[in-house]
Amino acid sequence: MTARTPMIEMRSVSKHFGSVIAISDISMQVYSGEVMCLLGDNGAGKSTLIKTLSGVHQPTHGEMLLDGKPARFKSPAYALDAGIATVFQDLAMVPLMSITRNFFMGREPTVGWGPLKRIDWKYADRVAKEEMAKIGIDVRDPSQPVGTLSGGERQCVAIARAVYFGAKVLILDEPTSALGVKQASVVLRYIAKARADGLAVIFITHNVHHAYPVADAFTLLSRGGSLGSFRKEEVSREEVLNMMAGGAELESLDAELAEFQRDDKAKKASLADQDTQPADETGSTEPPSPRTASGY
């Protein structure tokens, strides 16, 4: 059986900014038709890693391969031309512009030639509406401002745009971080659809509960380094959570919480004992003084 070639691969990639080591010795393989979830807490190095993958930064050490061939992207434009599309957290959309204009931004279809060339808005509107319908979002009027859509729907516009223009690798930067449960489920369904369409998807998140249902594999980052890559069948959701937080930190937290609960329980018991002490005729729970007892 012939081994599969990863669509995109990182081999011992490091990125330094002067004396600051942002990421160190990261290796990762992502295959077509699979979702690789890149997990890590804030400051783990996720942002630097995706910017290196997408051509914003150049790796200091190591190499990257695209479909088995060495790749080095001078800029995001080179990465995009090679088929690597990145949907950043801010989406790079203009809220007051139409859905269609945001969908085709910089790649508008034209008709005519020479001085008579113009944008074919009728065709563009139809394509935008059809592509959104494919992911289950009914856009009645593609000329409406994209800002009128929900957060999840705007994420789907950005993803649909990348897929339509022929992305081979789809990098999603925290696409569900600011979304409610319903909106996040819309995005997760479309991530699953992108995988079914044969794309290699890199899903960056710190939310294991969003990552686990759609993931085929996980790469865990911590403080700029890799904790390893794992196939989904190798680890449970709880094991991934434990590795992200760090077993020692979780055990320490559990011990602190248990101690807090014991102290809280003891305080409540002490207060309850005070409330049950019998009161004298004056209503006081204090023992009578000698002067009061003798009647003086």
CA distance 2 to 113: 49
pLDDT in tens, 3-59: 789 999 999 999 999 999 999 999 999 999 999 999 988 888 888 998 999 999 999
Residues 6+ apart with CB under 8 A from 227: 220, 221, 243
| 61 — pLDDT class (breaks 50, 70, 90) | very high
Q: Which residues face 222 on adjacent strands?
A: 225
Mean pLDDT of the chain: 84
CA distance 74 to 244: 32
Across the strands, what pairs with 203? 37, 172
* Paired tokens of 92: 């790079």
Q: Please state, in angstroms and rounded to a whole number, the distance separating the CA atoms of residues 244 and 205.
A: 11
pTM for the model stands at: 0.76
What number is the average pLDDT over the span 180-188? 83
Model confidence at 253, pLDDT cuts 50, 70, 90, reads low
Domain ranges of the chain: 8-245, 248-293
Percent of the chain with pLDDT over 70: 88
Q: 97 Cβ partners below 8 Å, 6+ apart?
A: 105, 145, 146
Task: Enter the DSSP assignment of 32.
Answer: T
Top-tier CATH class for 8-245: alpha beta
Lookup: tokens for 14:
């490091």
What is the model's pLDDT at position 179? Answer: 78
Query: Residue 57: which of 86, 29, 92 has the closest Cα?
Result: 86
Task: Return the minimum-mean-pLDDT range out of 27-31, 88-92, 178-182, 205-209.
Answer: 88-92
